Amino acid sequence: MPSTIGVVGMGYVGLTLTAALARKGFTVHGADTAPAVVESLSNGRPHIFEPGVQDVLAQTVGRTVLVDTELPEGTVDVAVICVSTPVDERTHRPDLTNLAAAAEQVARSCGPETLVVVRSTVPVGTSRAVVLPVLLRAWGRARLVMAPERTIQGQALRELVELPQVVGGLDDDSLRAGLDFFGGLAARLVPVSSLEAAELVKLSNNCHTDLIYAYGNEIALIAERHGLDPLEVIRAANVDYPRPDLARPGYVGGGCLSKDPYIMIESAGDRAPYLVGRARELNEHLPVHVAERVVDLIRERAGATEGARLAVLGWAYKGWPATDDMRGTPIATMMPVFAAAGLTVLGHDPLVTPEVIRRYGGEPVSLDKAFSDSDAVLVVNDHPDYRAIQVDSVLGAGRPKLIYDSWRILDEEAITAAGVGYAGLGYRSAVVR
């Protein structure tokens, strides 16, 4: 079994894999092109929030975890490519520049006996078309596998061990080497027949998630038009019904779900998928719809929006499992709507720093001030701190006129009893008008 691993790209995927491998006793050499990332990690300070990672680094950095801008030459048994594969904001075409550069680094630092693992999310056929030629030019032969990352933020260190690890190889020798490596990390292995099959597994998982969330959002938008409660409809539909449960409505963001559908579309070539693109379009529209709805409700209850103060709770793309990740955050597409309406936006998030809130156009505020110094409150994510809010204790004399509770986690009865308007995704309370 290999003992020394190289990880190229110390973003979320590479950093959590590094920590998980270090926990299992591997020596890990991490490489990243950003000097600030290298410096931070070399001092045991993770630049990304993920439970457990900082504890692992505190025990291993400088000993079994070493970070630099390049992999050490001729040292690692396995080189895992974990670089980002972003999509262009305008064209939505994937940018594989980082992947090609990582392959070149591996080719310089390693040799043909090194097992190369593609961990980044890529269009089907990319491992063979982009990574393999670089290795063959340098070495003449290569051992290559695709093994997609499939963890959820907030539980990555557990899921890296507990989730089945899918592995597809260039050939039988590559596949055996890949299974041997991941056998030292994961509890269960799922070999597939090719690099391409493994690539499509990752896209299939994430696009299916985007699809099922989109359907819940579709129900919410239809319920809103009819004055119905989407949660009532979804709960009733799910009671002891033997087909798959319907998902609650909610925002769909993050580094994967906001881009992987476009990578799936790229994989389809000139035959665009029927469902994937439309589901993504709906999920990207939802934050804009909510922002417009909030503006309308503020105008209705306050008389005007110009100069009104809106407190937004939850700037990270999700609240549970908790994260500080701003990729695909709903607030990014909400803010232009709020700005056009002349709203002053106050911001609070348990993990997102005041500097980041300011960067997105908000004014950082404490949780109590969010309720006492605003005309309206918008709850965007479901962080446990927000679920724990006791409405009676935060609604003082300076109470807001409206609370839009996207996840329906606050006490609606207490809010409406205080004379405050209450609404959520696809829903508006009939008690206070």
pLDDT confidence of residue 432: 58
Contacts of 137 (CB under 8 A, 6+ apart): 107
Q: Which two tokens stand for residue 13?
A: 């995927």
* Domain end marker among 162, 193, 224: 193
Q: What are phi and psi of 191, to 5 degrees?
A: -75, 140
Could you read off the pLDDT of 163-215 as tens digits, one per residue? 999 999 999 999 999 999 999 999 999 999 999 999 999 999 999 999 999 99
Same domain, 170 and 236: no
Residue among 321, 307, 308, 433 nearest 378 (CA): 308
* Domain end marker among 244, 261, 278: 278
Same domain, 361 and 406: yes
Same domain, 34 and 79: yes
- CATH number of the domain where residue 238 is located: 1.10.1040.10
Could you read off the pLDDT of 98-134 as tens digits, one per residue? 999 999 999 999 999 999 999 999 999 999 999 999 9
Evaluated on CA atoms 57, 61, 64, 66, the torsion sign reads positive
CA dihedral (176, 180, 186, 190) in degrees, to 10, reads 10
Q: How far apart are CA 389 and CA 387, in angstroms?
A: 6
**Mean confidence (pLDDT) of the chain:** 96
Residue 383: inside a domain: yes
Same domain, 52 and 33: yes
Q: How far apart are CA 223 and CA 425, in angstroms?
A: 9
Same domain, 221 and 123: no
Same domain, 217 and 250: yes
Residue 342: inside a domain: yes
Dump the DSSP string for 271-311: S--SSHHHHHHHHHHHHHHHHHHHHHHHHHHHS--TT-EEE
Same domain, 118 and 259: no
Residue 67 has pLDDT above 80, yes or no: yes
Same domain, 257 and 339: no
Residue 65 has pLDDT above 90, yes or no: yes
pLDDT confidence of residue 244: 87
pLDDT more than 70, % of the chain? 99
Q: Residue range 276-297: average pLDDT? A: 98
Residue 198: inside a domain: no
Burial of residue 426 (number of CB atoms within 10 Å: 0-12, 13-18, 19+): buried
Residue 300 has pLDDT above 70, yes or no: yes
Q: pLDDT class for 309, splitting at 50, 70, 90?
A: very high
Structurally, how many domains does the chain consist of? Answer: 3
Residue 433: inside a domain: no
CA angle 177, 181, 183 (to 5 degrees): 115
Could you read off the pLDDT of 384-397 as tens digits, one per residue? 999 999 999 999 88
Same domain, 10 and 143: yes
Q: pLDDT class for 302, splitting at 50, 70, 90?
A: confident
User: The tokens 């979804």 sit on which residue?
Assistant: 234
- CATH number of the domain where residue 401 is located: 3.40.50.720
Same domain, 16 and 153: yes
Residue ranges making up the domain that contains 318:
280-428
Q: How far apart are CA 319 and CA 289, in angstroms?
A: 20
C-alpha to C-alpha distances, 371 to 302, 304, 402, 432, nearest whole angstrom? 15, 19, 10, 18
Could you read off the pLDDT of 15-39 as tens digits, one per residue? 999 999 999 999 999 999 999 999 9
Q: What is the separation of C-alpha 246 from the centre of its chain, rounded to a whole number of angstroms?
A: 21
How large is the C-alpha radius of gyration of the chain?
Answer: 24
C-alpha to C-alpha distances, 351 to 11, 314, 355, nearest whole angstrom? 18, 9, 11
Residue 433 has pLDDT above 70, yes or no: no
Same domain, 266 and 397: no
pLDDT confidence of residue 377: 98
Q: Residue range 234-245: average pLDDT? A: 95
